[in-house]
Amino acid sequence: MKWLAQVIFSLLLSGLASAGQPLPERQAELRYLLEQDCGSCHGLTLKGGLGPALTPAALAGKPPEFLQYTILYGRLGTAMPPWRGILNEDESRWLAERLLAGEMQP
Amino acid sequence: MSLFGWSGDTRQVRAESVRTEWLTTLVCTLMILLLVFAGGVEADDGLRGSGDLALVVERANGSLQVVETTGNSSLTRIEGLGDLSHASAVFSRDQRYAFVFGRDGGLSKVDLLEGTVVARVIQSGNSIGGAISQDGRLVAVSNYDPGGVKVFSTDDLALVADIPAEFGTGQRSKVIGLVDAPGRRFVFSLWDAGEIWLADFSKGDEPSISKFRDIGRNPYDALITPDGRHYIAGLFGEDGLALLDLWHPERGVRRILPGYGKGEAKLPVYKMPHLEGWAVAGNLAFVPAVGRNEVLVIDTGTWLEAGRIPVHGQPVFVMARPDGRQIWVNFAFPKNDTIQVIDAEGLAISKTLKPGKGVLHMEFEPRGEEIWVSVRDLDELHVYDTGSFERLATLPAQKPSGIFMTARAARIGL
């Protein structure tokens, strides 16, 4: 049964991963949102606060799908809220990839 | 830039002919008048008090603006303070110096009158706030990483005491809700451990620490009542607040307003609320409900719920005007373009303001006739008349967040 779960999970992830790029204007909004609003817990410089650091070093080894999923659905038992409704799948994916690439450091 | 030496932009207007000389005189007179009234910076003797000053955190640039609230003008900018996201400040008892707590662990001592940084240490990797002792000699900083509290001399920022927030088996907790209490004490809460600690410096610089365990899950911030008697920590991990009577710490911590959400699902919390001493108005305390569009009202005589007020969004700051008649509330993302004013008598909204996106903080002038508001996305500070709600002044500021008036120096817990 474990293989089935894995298949379903990867199908789910590939569904999430079929990402289009947000438009340039929206990208600017997302950068601002990340800095100012994610920044209120993760720090404006993304070096952490109540929430953990989001620097490339801190995120090393984490798959983009994991980050995307965390952004969209939050993390139960922590202060991380679900951003679904504010961010769509493409936008959360785009943020996850930029974070991993270190392109969001101010 | 020295405020003592500050004399504004004294441009000379050169007279081209005798006929224009009267105009020159007029212009010069007007400029001088403008400087005197708009600046209000210094008296004729070059001296000024500091009781009407405030610090504004410009969080993106790591700078502070010094403003004055008599003429509502900006005086100077102080730069080089590092990462000021979520920065806050406390003041020396003479109201000349501010101690600024930066996110990057920076603790800076700032001279408001000279507009300079006089001392600065990087005391941890990540900090969240601080407090100054009753006697003004100790400044304490609460740290996320490594979790704990460090205490410094206000003279030169030399380390006096280090209190690691250890719990369980060698873990360290993030520390929040650090306040000063009468008797040269500091009180703070441990986010990860669910504990309240009381550090007593009354016998000297070696503190005795009392720990209160199982106070509730994930305390997110705390306040001390203006009389310095009750310490209240808000809980993020469950509905309720934790109350410690500092006159009787031996009685322990008790839970108040347990289960105020009645088991209903919380809304997502995009910004942690804040608790501060001026949530208290008369015999009522007004605190944000976590994950709910409500302000909770607590009777400070019985510590029972006295009501709840539905509001525009999830409250972040809930602040009583110094006379206790009004309660001003701002809200978490994405509803942070709005302020609502609650009438403390009728316990209902009496006014809704829309200053603009990113209302991050509000601070009343010491007697409450005006309030300063930082509007991050407009890069503006607004000053409102709290009687007419008219906007009296608009000042430019770079992504302003916290506003801290020197009158805090004389208040317990601020």
Taking only the tens of pLDDT, chain B with its 414 residues reads 444 444 444 444 444 454 556 656 665 555 555 544 444 455 678 899 999 999 999 987 889 999 999 999 999 999 999 888 889 999 999 999 999 999 899 999 999 999 999 999 999 989 999 999 999 999 999 999 999 999 999 999 999 999 999 998 899 999 999 999 999 999 999 999 999 999 999 999 999 999 999 999 999 999 999 999 999 999 999 999 999 999 999 999 999 999 888 778 889 999 999 998 788 988 999 999 999 999 999 999 999 999 999 999 999 999 999 999 999 999 999 999 999 999 999 999 999 999 999 999 999 999 999 999 999 999 999 999 999 999 999 999 999 999 999 999 999 999
Q: CB of B79 within 8 Å of any CB in chain A?
A: no
Q: How many folded domains does chain B comprise? A: 1
Instruction: Kindly identify which residue of chain B lies nearest to residue A86, measuring between CA atoms.
Output: B334
CA distance A78 to B218: 9
CA distance B323 to B282: 9
All structural domains of chain A: 2-100 (1.10.760.10)
- Collapsed DSSP state (helix, strand, coil) of residue A39: helix
Rg (CA), chain B: 22
DSSP designation for B270: S
ipTM summary value: 0.79
Q: Residue B1: inside a domain, yes or no?
A: yes
Q: What range defines the domain where residue B25 resides?
A: 1-48
| Cβ separation B104–A81 shorter than 8 A | no
Measure CB to CB from residue A43 to each of B103, B220, B358 and give the nearest one: B103
Q: CB of B128 within 8 Å of any CB in chain A?
A: yes
Q: Residue B10: inside a domain, yes or no?
A: yes
Q: Residue B21: inside a domain, yes or no?
A: yes
The CA-based angle B154-B160-B165, given to 5 degrees, is: 115
Contact B180, B164 (CB under 8 A): no
Q: CB of A52 within 8 Å of any CB in chain B?
A: no
Q: Residue B26: inside a domain, yes or no?
A: yes
Contacts of A39 in chain B (CB under 8 A): 85
Amino acid of residue B329: V
Determine the angle formed by the axes of helices A64-73 and A2-17, rounding to 10 degrees. Answer: 80
Contacts of A50 in chain B (CB under 8 A): 128, 144, 174, 191, 220, 272
Q: How far is CA A31 from CA B8, B60, B67, B372, B398, in A?
A: 38, 14, 30, 28, 17
CA-closest candidate to residue A97, choices A72, A65, A73: A65
pTM of the entire predicted model: 0.87
Q: Residue B11: inside a domain, yes or no?
A: yes
| Cβ separation A48–B144 shorter than 8 A | yes
Q: Residue B40: inside a domain, yes or no?
A: yes
Q: CB of A44 within 8 Å of any CB in chain B?
A: yes
| Cβ separation A81–B126 shorter than 8 A | no
| Cβ separation A47–B174 shorter than 8 A | no
Indicate the burial class of B227 (C-beta count within 10 angstroms; 0-12, 13-18, 19 or more). middle
Pick the residue of B57, B59, B85 with the most A CBs within 10 A to test the interface with A by mutation.
B85
Q: CB of A48 within 8 Å of any CB in chain B?
A: yes
Measure CB to CB from residue A82 to each of B236, B268, B334 and give the nearest one: B268
Q: Residue B384: inside a domain, yes or no?
A: no
Contact B291, B307 (CB under 8 A): no
Q: Residue B5: inside a domain, yes or no?
A: yes
Sheet-wide strand order for B195-200: B175-181, B185-190, B195-200, B208-212
